[in-house]
Structure 1
């Protein structure tokens, strides 16, 4: 999926199933055109970010307005709260946020840092639960936030949990987000092998300079990695070695506790 200027249109059409409905795909693309950096868009903006014609973008926007998912204010369009129903239906069926939250709260209290849980969605991770102790990133993180899997500790835990022949399909373009980001595929695969063997991942200033995070996997009853939990901190607060010594035991205990509750709940 191209990320040039925030575009959400895919330039390389994947193979579609016989039941594929193009109009639904395009309607969802219009919803995805809106994000934290682009909360209000004109018709032309939507057409450009989705690759749709203006006429098609207009039809989809007005349909979404009629359905209550988009609001229109003059030339500008914006998502309405009802769009959250689409995500909450998934989160409710998952059960993970409710199970993870008390453990994340205890983890955040124990280490004095923010704690989160996420799942893999394509080449991104999606936050499904978060307990914030302080803001340490330049963007606000919350439920529904998406970040590139390859450059995040939770993403690497989730990628390492996949069969090796499936990993490449979830990587996308390895863009350099900071001067420290791993962008070489062979180097990244070597790092994922390390994560797979040791059972946790630490990412030091690869997503955003000044940010360090540590993650561990959550598994289902078959042992498959289904989610990841992490702790994030400002790199200036101490060394990576100190973080591993002081935080990793608490993180692994929280991940194991969430795994146990998730298995018992299914």
Structure 2
């Protein structure tokens, strides 16, 4: 549960900002140029409230309106640029991602956990292997991805519980949807130090991930290499890619301040470390 989601902290929330972001996030591939009425329906806000928010965002330069329809402006991209500029890890990781992509001939990605989903924060694409268009900011379910498994394996028990309570939707016939099975898979990831997930997010997609740590040893990101079953089997991925992946993740961690030999701090507490 988010810190700011508890009732005792609700008085600290600024509702107008919350509603403003709700309107911004309502623009997507299905609604690239929505009307005011469509935005009101998507957000659950009244039309007068949406109108005021749109006019404010237009004044700030984040949206523009024409013939009754609204669209985002390029200024919205600056929000993501501020995130990249304020997170040194992304700049540190970029040359390592390029090198990994060159070594494997496959896409290399860096992702972080946000709620119950994984968000791509850096990526070097080699060829398109997913039906969805993966780019910086793309979100995928944590339970069905190798990146999510790595991030959850060292996450606090409360985060694992949050993901399970939110539901484990089936993406393919192979997706793990049983909480006990997921906890067992996370234990395996923690023990072996990496994750491999095959055809759980999409049919034909296979990926491997390794943890990236900060100075304290906490896992703050997941490094992934993705391929297709037609080009790489799970066994080939484990033999040929995982060693490169783990070494690259360790190199990023070292550049980010983590020193091998220093005991990594576990964020998982409890007798069974959150898995049972």
Q: Secondary structure of the equivalent of 1:190? A: helix
Name 2:171's counterpart in structure 1. Answer: 177
> Structure 1 residue 76: deviation in Å?
1.8
| SS at 1:237 equivalent | coil
* Map of 1:19 onto structure 2: 12
Q: Which residue of 2 aligns with 1:248?
A: 242
Q: Indicate which of 139, 150, 155 corresponds to 2:148.
A: 155
How far apart are residue 14 of structure 1 and its match? 5.0
Greater Cα radius of gyration, structure 1 or 2: 2
Alpha-carbon separation, structure 1, partners of 2:121 and 2:229: 24
More off after superposition, 98-107 vs 169-178: 169-178
Deviation at 1:108, TM superposition (A): 0.5
CA distance in 2, matches of 1:135, 1:184: 30
Question: 1:227 aligns to what?
Answer: 221
Cα drift, residue 217 of structure 1 = 0.5
The question of 1:66 aligning with 2:59 is answered: yes
- RMSD in angstroms over aligned alpha carbons? 1.7
Q: What is the TM-score of this pair, normalised by structure 2?
A: 0.87
Give the drift of 1:178: 1.6
SS of structure 2 residue aligned to 1:221: coil
Note the 1:204-215 alignment, pairs <5 A.
204-215=198-209
Structure 2: segments with no counterpart, 5+ residues: 259-276
* SS of corresponding position for 1:78: strand
1:122-159 residue CA offsets vs partner (Å, 9 max, x unmatched)? 11111111001101111211111111111111111111
Instruction: List alignment gaps of at least 5 residues for structure 1.
Output: 2-12
Aligned length: 253
Superposed displacement of residue 214, structure 1: 0.6
Alignment correspondent of 1:90? 83
Matched, 1:189 2:183: yes
Offset from partner CA, 1:143-183 (integer Å, 9 cap, x none): 11111111111111111111223321245221111222111
2:131 corresponds to 1:141? no
Structure 1 residue 211: Cα displacement: 0.8
CA distance in structure 1 between the aligned counterparts of 2:82 and 2:170, rounded to whole angstroms? 34
Report the secondary structure of 1:256's partner residue. helix
Distance 2:168 2:174 in 1: 12
Q: Which range moves more in the overlay, 242-251 or 171-180?
A: 171-180
